[in-house]
């Protein structure tokens, strides 16, 4: 926050604004908050009113000259308080920046190596693989969309499920590890749409498939560059070599930079190549070759493997730890993993970051399995496709689903569409379901042993 200013208005209590407001109060700030979506129930509002004043978006609100506005990057700039703040010249900072400054002010992570990841794709996978590698010699806490986990010796213990990856949730994660009396050597957190700036290592996994935010007045890729804009002095950035915008920003900021790539044709400090089921990781002074196991689509993890390896190499992790982790890697639940269900082949690609491109990759993976199984005898491919909630990371646009079916439906023997928005898609012989579980149940009823079920439902798991 601006030096000397201890008055703040926190906007958006739905997307982890509550822990931000609470932490500010704990550190002595004078806080008011606005429930901009009016989604909080009366009991929650009553409890919060004991800590700081909470206003509805419909209430008159007179902004004070001394107040700093703390707002999420995705918020509509036409919101009356934001417009008023800009007109009056009040300081406006993002949730991301506020969280970073609060963490540094409180020193709650002092002495802990902090690694923060953002990006469009591969955030969770990169963070999870990295946690596994580092945990073989260090005590690690990992916060991702999969949950809050404590990693030791390659084994994860769940601390808590249900936290989002909105920046404010980092404060909740810190509180939960403190309550568990855990003091890790490394804290890795995945952050949506940007970075807080409290990290020693900031990572951008990708910037592809950009999309509009803040009522389409900005781009998600620009917001993600906060991880560089907010970076603390002396921090180190790891950036996918394909994220040109990020490379340029890091150069402008004078941030020490290491690039990684999953394509040997792109020059990077650390790159990764694949020969059959062998992965070769190359840096200036090291080459690490790993024989990967089957049971998942390796091509879906190349960015994550490259990024995790690059960070591990820079941190001085021994080759044997990297090799052991990657050799034993079997994919992450819901991220292009091959499994078995009552004799059926299950391709599980249901997660919060799923998009239509990964749906096509899942179909290609399933088609390859079918082609490789000589005795398959025309077994069926059934896909469960859709969303459990359109609010999950921008949802899965029905128009994208419709286009996918037009282009690829001929390869499917049956389609089960999940979610209310998918009911507007008219497709011959389609089934409709409300939830992931209902969709899977329908697919199971319409398949036999040796058939393939592809699960592509955008949801939190």
User: Would you state the pLDDT for residue 392?
Assistant: 56
The pLDDT score that the predictor gives to residue 306 is 96
Residue 173 inside a domain? The answer is yes
Residue 285 banded pLDDT, cuts 50, 70, 90: confident
Let me know whether 278 and 350 are in one domain. Answer: no
Structural domain of residue 284, as residue ranges?
A: 103-327
What pLDDT, on a 0 to 100 scale, did the predictor assign at position 394? Answer: 61
Domain boundary, last residue among 327, 360, 379: 327
Verify that 264 and 403 share a domain, yes or no.
no
Specify if 51 maps to a domain. yes
The residue among 37, 59, 90 that closes a domain is 90
Looking at residue 14, the DSSP 8-state letter turns out to be T
Residue 73: band (very low, low, confident or very high) from pLDDT cuts 50, 70, 90: very high
- Give residue-wise pLDDT tens across range 137-191: 999 999 999 999 999 999 999 999 989 999 999 999 999 999 999 999 999 999 9
Q: d(Cα 277, Cα 150) in Å, to the nearest integer?
A: 30
Do 323 and 344 share a structural domain?
Answer: no
Residue 375 has pLDDT above 70, yes or no: no
Measured distance CA(374)–CA(129) in Å, rounded:
33
CB 209 within 8 A of CB 119: no
pLDDT at 365 exceeding the cut of 90: yes
0.85 exceeded by the pTM? yes
Q: Report pLDDT digits (tens) over 413-440.
A: 999 999 999 999 999 989 999 999 999 9
Same domain, 299 and 341: no
Q: Give the Cβ contact number of residue 403 at 10 Å.
A: 12
pLDDT at 2: 54
Give CB contacts under 8 A, 24+ apart, made by 62-67. Answer: 63/9, 63/88, 63/90, 64/7, 65/90, 66/5, 66/7, 67/5, 67/7, 67/8, 67/9, 67/32
Is the pLDDT at 336 greater than 90? The verdict is yes
pLDDT above 70 covers what percent of the chain? 96
If pLDDT is split at 50, 70 and 90, which confidence band does 376 have?
very low
Residues 367 and 446 in one domain: yes
CATH of the domain at 358: 3.90.190.20
Q: 300 with 157, same domain?
A: yes
Q: Which of 296, 327, 358 is the last residue of a domain?
A: 327
In this structure, what CATH number is given to the domain that contains residue 254? Answer: 3.40.1190.10
The length of the chain is: 461
Indicate whether 49 and 142 sit together in one domain: no
Do 209 and 274 belong together in one domain?
yes
Tens digit of pLDDT for each residue in 263-273? 766 789 999 99
- pLDDT for residue 391 is more than 80: no
Would 171 be classed as within a structural domain? yes
Q: Residue 40: which CATH number?
A: 3.40.50.720
Output the DSSP codes for 389-446. Answer: -TTGGG---HHHHHHHHHHHGGG-SEEEEESGGGGG---TT-EEESSHHHHHHHHHHT
419 within a domain of the structure (yes/no): yes
Secondary structure of 431-442 in HEC code, one letter for each residue: EEECCHHHHHHH
Q: What percent of the chain has pLDDT over 90?
A: 87
Instruction: Please indicate, yes or no, if residue 78 is contained in any of the structural domains.
Output: yes
Q: What burial letters (b/e) apply to 184-206, b meaning 16+ CB within 10 Å?
A: bebbbbbbbbbbbbbbbbbbbbb
Total domains in the chain come to: 3
Asked whether residue 172 falls in the same domain as residue 52, the answer is no
Q: What is the pLDDT of residues 82-135, one digit of tens each?
A: 999 999 999 999 999 999 999 999 999 999 999 999 999 999 999 999 999 999
* Cα diameter, the chain: 74
Same domain, 266 and 301: yes
Mark whether 303 and 227 lie in a shared domain: yes
Which tens digits make up the pLDDT trace of 198-246? 999 999 999 988 889 999 999 999 999 999 999 999 999 999 999 999 9
Residue 337, token pair as written in the block: 């993993």
What per-residue confidence (pLDDT) applies to 7? 97
Residues whose CB falls within 8 Å of the CB of residue 100, separated by 6 or more in sequence, listed in order: 195, 196, 197, 198, 230, 232
Confidence label for 327 from pLDDT (cuts 50, 70 and 90):
very high
CA distances to 116, 229, 301 from 196, in Å: 8, 9, 26
> Residue 257 has what pLDDT?
96
What pLDDT shows up at residue 3? 54
Specify whether 69 is located in the same domain as 202: no
């Amino acid at each position: 926050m601006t030096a000397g200013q201890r008055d703040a208005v926190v906007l958006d209590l739905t997307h982890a604004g509550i822990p931000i407001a609470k932490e500010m109060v704990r550190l002595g700030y004078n806080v008011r908050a606005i429930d901009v979506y009016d989604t909080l129930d009366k009991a929650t509002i009553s409890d919060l009113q004991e800590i700081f004043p909470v206003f509805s978006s419909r209430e008159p609100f007179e902004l004070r000259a001394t107040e700093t506005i703390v707002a999420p990057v995705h918020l509509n700039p036409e919101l009356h308080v934001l417009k008023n703040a800009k007109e009056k010249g009040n300081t406006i900072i993002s949730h991301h920046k506020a969280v970073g400054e609060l963490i540094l002010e409180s020193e709650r992570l002092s002495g802990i190596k902090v690694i923060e990841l953002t990006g469009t794709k591969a955030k969770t996978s990169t963070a999870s693989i990295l946690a596994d590698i580092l945990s073989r010699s260090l005590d690690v806490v990992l916060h991702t969309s999969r949950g809050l986990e404590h990693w030791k010796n390659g084994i994860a213990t769940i601390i808590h499920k249900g936290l989002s990856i909105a920046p404010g949730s980092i404060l909740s994660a810190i509180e939960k590890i403190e309550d568990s009396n855990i003091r890790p050597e490394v804290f890795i957190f995945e952050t949506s749409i940007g970075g807080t700036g409290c990290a020693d290592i900031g990572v951008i996994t990708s910037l592809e498939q950009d999309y509009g935010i803040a009522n389409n007045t900005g781009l998600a890729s620009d917001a993600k560059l906060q991880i560089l804009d907010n970076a603390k002095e002396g921090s180190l950035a790891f950036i996918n070599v394909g994220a040109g915008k990020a490379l340029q920003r890091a150069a402008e900021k004078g941030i020490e930079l290491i690039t990684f790539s999953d394509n040997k044709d792109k020059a990077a400090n650390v790159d990764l190549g694949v020969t059959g089921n062998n992965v070769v990781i190359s840096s200036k002074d090291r080459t690490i070759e790993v024989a990967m196991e089957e049971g998942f689509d390796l091509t879906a993890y190349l960015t994550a493997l490259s990024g995790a390896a690059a960070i591990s190499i820079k941190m001085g992790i021994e080759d044997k730890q990297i090799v052991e982790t990657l050799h034993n890697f079997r994919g992450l639940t819901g991220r292009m993993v091959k499994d078995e269900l009552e004799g059926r082949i299950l391709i599980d690609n249901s997660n919060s970051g799923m998009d239509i491109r990964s749906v096509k990759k899942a179909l290609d993976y399933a088609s390859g399995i079918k082609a490789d199984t000589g005795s398959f005898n025309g077994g069926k491919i059934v896909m469960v496709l859709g969303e459990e909630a359109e609010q999950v990371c921008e949802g899965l646009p029905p128009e994208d689903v419709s286009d996918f079916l037009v282009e690829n439906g001929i390869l499917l023997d049956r389609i089960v569409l999940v979610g209310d928005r998918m009911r507007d898609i008219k497709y011959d012989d389609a089934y409709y379901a409300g939830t992931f579980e209902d969709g899977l149940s329908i697919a199971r009823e319409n398949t036999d042993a040796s058939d393939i079920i592809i699960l592509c439902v955008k949801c939190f798991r």
